[in-house]
Chains A and B, each alone.
Chain A
Amino acid sequence: MSVDGTDAAPPAPTTPRRRSRWAWLGRLWALSTGRFGLIVVAVVGITAIVARFWTPFDPQKVDIANRWALPGWPHLLGTDGSGRDILSLLMAGARTTVFVAIGAGLVATVIGISLAALGALTARWVRESVAVFVDILIAFPVLIIAMMISAVWGGSLWVVIWAVGIGFGVNIARVTRPELRRVLQSDFVLAGRASGLTPAQNLWRHLLPNVAPVFIVQLSWGMAVAVLAEAGLSYLGFGAPVTEPSWGLLLAQLQQFIGVHPLSVVWPGLAITITVLGLNLLGDALREATDPTLSRSPFATRRARLHIPEVVS
């Protein structure tokens, strides 16, 4: 995707669009779901950064004298069976969650965009076979992919990242491909081609910016899947190693004492649920705030884009 160095200055027509380019952010904030999603994502992200440097207690510090402390001071959410501070464990777990969500998002982006571009822009027989291939891959649940990978390489956070990345990348490809085909028919793409842009330049400058809204919505939902998958796979023992702080791992560890200390299990579950809910709602709101086709034919596109989250954990 090389752009020659001579055209560093932005072309003139983009200047009036500049103002509207960020307008969707305002629309996003105006939606209650969008605001909730943005706040949750910000809180989880900031927690992950803060936890990198500071947590109220050392999350792995064993303190037998204070085991199973109820929520109160100084252990705001209580302690677990070996006296570890649950709030600190949750904060440290946020780091793992953010790492997996971003990693899976990146893998899904690369796979999704590549497959969508292959499925939309190449010769007919290539793009038809890619489309069939994508349709087949979609039937593989993320968990099955994860098990295939961990049967070979053993469990780790990378298993989660690759499994969700592949699983959701295919999803992104399926949704983005028709959008790409649609944009491909536009006059401005034709104009771009006529004025001498190579296919790669055209893709980068005209096609991708125009499918970006659809793509970002999918990415937000994909990250929600990643958070759920991390929890589920870590719970099963295919995700985070025992030494890493992880919400799913915490659930598995607290589960053994669920009969005696049911309250402690509530916190990691709540953390996962709120994060996933935030990402899902952010995706919904992004779709509403950025959808350029909403005015065109709401009934035709709404159904095709209805988001059905996968069960992964």
Chain B
Amino acid sequence: MAKKKNTEEPAAQKPAGGLFTYAPAPESPAAAGDIAASYGHFIGGEFVDSSGSEALKTVNPATEQVLAEFARGTEEDVDRAVAAARKAFADWSALPGSERAKYLFRIARIIQERSRELAVLESIDNGKPIRETRDVDLPLVAAHFFYYAGWADKLDHAGFGPNPKPLGVAGQVIPWNFPLLMLAWKIAPALATGNTVVLKPAETTPLTALRFAEICRQAGLPKGVVNIVTGDGRTGAALTAHPDVNKVAFTGSTPVGRAIAKQVAGTRKKLSLELGGKAANIVFDDAPIDQAVEGIVNGIFFNQGHVCCAGSRLLVQESVQDELLAALKHRMGTLRVGDPLDKNTDIGAINSAEQLARITALAEAGEAEGAERWSPACELPGAGFWFRPTVFTGVSQAHRIAQEEIFGPVLSVLTFRTPAEAVEKANNTPYGLSAGIWTEKGSRILWMANRLRAGVVWANTFNKFDPTSPFGGYKESGYGREGGRHGLEAYLDV
């Protein structure tokens, strides 16, 4: 297989202006290790070519340079992968939990050891800043494997009765916003409970999943326990439709989730869906303002807003609106947009041209509908896909930007007068994935949390993740939980 070094130029760093300008502090792209010119699938413990000839390309969204080609998985490829997983299931599920745990602990440790390589590779393939992959994604990925490794030999005590059984072969389809983290959320609990998996990474971000396949080999994981089939939506559909798959787990958009639910309906497959969101971040007048501003920024600009639980609707009490928005805009002026591999970059590249077009269209709709648009002045690099952090004020519930998931660095600001109105507005969405509450009053946090129809409610923080905490949605944000003890249930026959 031909190898090529990754030698692209970093995109221009936004000039900070002022006296103290940070010089470029680029992480080396070479740290990502060798990226092959083309990839096949990982099936039965081997890297194999696709049965088809169609190849897709993955590009660096910060430069638009093609990083590698990868196979578009065919139905035949999926069939081979499911067969390999089925074959491996008997032995894997028969292993004592303590033995399965050893493999998971080993994988977690290898991820830690190779975290720099994985962080750089993720940043290159996804466009997210290295600061985030290094400080958030990779630590969480390792933590997830460590956490579920701990459960593998304690399933009798997980609250599902004695000796709960695995389901069999899990078909898992994951999105591009947290490629490796979503892989960890899917694979770690599945393996801990004794299932085998076929995972399809997103079509714009397959590289870290393929690198994870190497880690499975390095860890000596039995062949066929983890299979990776790359491809696009057709590949994903073939996987979720496959008759020998016992469990379907999907994270992605609500329309696709709905299609999968229809497809799976009437079969014996167990299904968990983690879909879109339009979370309300609710700021009361007694909130710790400086930290609330940080929470708002972290809620919507973290990962370029490509977060299903992003706090994309800011609900602010009218009495503090001016003060809060002034502080928020000041803070947004310090956000550094640019080269994802620069260690000082806060906001990286939008993942794809397609996503950029969608964000742009929705932002234009916001303006057309009469909301007021504001972005800090910041230079954007010439090549690549970029979008300035943007805030819309004067937004009302009827506007599209208050209803539809934008999945980009765009915040819609609405106001409320009373706690009851805040709850009403926050719940007035087809989604229900997450919500945030900012107030110094503990009793109000509890009152609100009991009334908010959202799977996760953060209090005086936002976008905090931990493997011990279950995550999942209400309504059109999906069903089933990932993480924590609850996350085991999705992979057990209970």
B partners with A: no
Which residues of chain B have a CB within 8 Å of any CB of chain A? none
